[in-house]
């Protein structure tokens, strides 16, 4: 990171750049990925998780709901009583852990994608209004946003989840809605930056109408920071979903989710530790990959940084 240089470019995305073509853009993206291998690693890890979610029925050795009581509580294959047929062992109801982990990615990825999409779109809209209009509207919106953000998040999420009950839809709604303030804040911040660069005023003075200003001039400059934010927030949502599952407040207990698995694993920690260790590792894997990806995105999508890098 070039900390010692002052920024020399305003880094604004101009319409003309869009005409350079997808092909050129993709290949330069690949070059950036290759140079910054941690970003590549993050992307690969992320894609592995998404792939597991999509292809779960194909790659999973067993049906995750399949109970084989005779084979319950088996440790992983490399331990004494383990067997290769259940690579990571089984849980107390005889369900294969590896399969449940693979299927568990479905819940995580779904919650992550849909939740973030909701927060992203609604948050961006509100943030745009707040930043563009300014004045009282902005003050009111930001006061509400700051108030909401200062509250103990999990406490209220737990409360709401308990009230609404166990369902995938509820979880998506809860995270999708409660994460809106974060997107509002970042969007508004970026809009204000553009304001300060005199950019919006210049466009207005040339007679460009508001909707066009917003869509063609402001939004392209928002996408970079927002996509980066979305990556981190998705990772956070996956963690929170697992946390809720751990408390028994996420998807119904029978549905395989990493959090649910940890909830069960906790009860048998002293005797069957593998039931807790491996689902947790899946979460760590996902989080690690997405954080690396997010860090790389942050460096690459910030136009200023892009020009500074080799």
Residues that bind other proteins (CB under 8 A): 1-5, 143, 147, 150-156, 158-160, 162-164, 235, 239, 242-243, 246-249, 262, 265-266, 269-270, 273, 276-277, 280, 283-284, 287-288, 291-292, 307-310
C-alpha closest to that of 56 among 238, 249, 246, 257: 257
Pick 44 or 147: Cβ nearer other proteins:
147
Shortest CB 37 distance to other proteins, Å? 14
Q: What is the SS3 assignment for 205?
A: helix
Of the pair 96, 241, the CB lying nearest other proteins is at: 241
- 30 or 159: CB nearest other proteins: 159
Three-point CA angle 108, 112, 117, nearest 5°: 155
CA distance linking residue 231 with residue 47, whole number of Å: 13
Indicate the residue among 12 and 154 with the shorter CB distance to other proteins.
154
Smallest gap from Cβ 80 to other proteins, in A, equals 17
Residue from 274, 303, 259, 51 nearest 168 by CA: 259
At its nearest, how many Å lie between other proteins and the CB of residue 242?
6
Q: In terms of Cα–Cα distance, which of 142, 303, 131, 139 is closest to 214?
A: 131
Nearer to other proteins, 67 or 291 (CB): 291
CB distance 204 to 194 below 8 Å: no
**Least distance (Å) from other proteins to the CB of residue 212?**
31
CB 71, min distance to other proteins, A? 24
If we measure between CA atoms, which residue out of 60, 49, 47 comes closest to residue 98? 60
């Amino acid at each position: 990171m070039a900390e010692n240089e002052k920024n020399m470019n305003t880094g604004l995305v101009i319409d003309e750049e869009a005409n350079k073509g997808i092909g050129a853009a993709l290949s330069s993206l690949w070059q950036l990925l290759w140079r910054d291998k941690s970003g590549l690693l993050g992307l690969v890890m992320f894609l592995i998780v998404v792939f597991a979610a999509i292809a779960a029925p194909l790659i999973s050795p067993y049906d995750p709901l399949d109970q084989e009581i005779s084979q319950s509580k088996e440790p992983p294959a490399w331990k004494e009583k383990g067997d290769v047929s259940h690579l990571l062992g089984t849980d107390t109801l005889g369900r294969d852990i590896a399969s449940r982990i693979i299927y568990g990615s479905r819940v995580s990825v779904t919650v992550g994608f849909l939740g973030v999409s909701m927060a992203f779109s609604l948050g961006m809209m509100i943030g745009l209004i707040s930043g563009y209009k300014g004045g009282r509207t902005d003050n009111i919106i930001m006061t509400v946003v700051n108030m909401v953000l200062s509250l103990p998040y999990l406490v209220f999420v737990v409360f709401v989840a308990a009230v609404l009950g166990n369902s995938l839809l509820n979880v998506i709604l809860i995270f999708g809605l409660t994460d809106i303030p974060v997107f509002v804040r970042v969007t508004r911040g970026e809009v204000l930056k553009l304001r300060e660069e005199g950019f919006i005023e210049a466009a207005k003075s040339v007679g460009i109408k508001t909707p066009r200003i917003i869509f063609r001039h402001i939004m392209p400059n928002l996408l970079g920071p927002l996509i980066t934010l979305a990556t981190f927030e998705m990772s956070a949502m996956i963690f929170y979903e697992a946390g809720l599952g751990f408390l028994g407040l996420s998807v119904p207990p029978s549905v395989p989710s990493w959090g649910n698995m940890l909830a069960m694993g906790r009860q048998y920690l002293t005797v069957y530790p593998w039931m807790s260790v491996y689902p947790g590792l899946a979460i760590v894997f996902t989080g690690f990959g997405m954080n690396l990806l997010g860090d790389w995105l942050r460096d690459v999508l910030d136009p200023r940084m892009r020009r500074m890098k080799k």
